[in-house]
Amino acid sequence: MDQIEIGLRAERVVTVTNDMTATSLGSGSLPIYSTAAMIALMEAAALDTVEHLLPDGQASAGLSFDITHHAATPVGEEVRAQAEVIDIQGQQIVFEVRAWDNQDLIGEGTHTRVVIDASRLLDQLA
């Protein structure tokens, strides 16, 4: 975790497809980019920010989200999500996350991940 510092950031970009819509994911009745898909993209950006900096055997796991979805995005439009480290509290890493389509900021909030010993967690689950 020594290499993880406030200000680190990464981005992920996708083109909205039918399988990312609220109707497809069962989270709404409209064929627009779903909040669930947006949050997954934000989480992927957070992973890209820190996962490669963790020591061997460690991983990060999602702990919480506080997200607002501001605007609808149609199928075929590109969405870009950015995650930036804004706080580190022991094993917890807090990110500011945002997403934009070709028109506007469509979502924003915070996401917290916790650094874990991957093999220990998998052993506990077995």
pLDDT in tens, 51-68: 999 999 999 999 999 999
CATH no. for residue 70? 3.10.129.10
For residue 3, tell me if it sits in a domain: no
**Mean pLDDT of the 106-121 span:** 93
Question: Residue 121 has what pLDDT?
Answer: 75
DSSP one-letter code for 18: G
The reply to whether 20 falls in a domain is: yes
DSSP tally for the chain: helices H, then strands E: 3, 5
Number of domains in the chain: 1
2-18 residue pLDDT tens: 899 999 999 999 999 99
pLDDT tens by residue, 78-91? 999 999 999 999 99
Q: Is residue 2 part of a domain?
A: no
Position 110 in a domain: yes
Domain hosting 46: range is 9-125
Q: Is residue 120 part of a domain?
A: yes
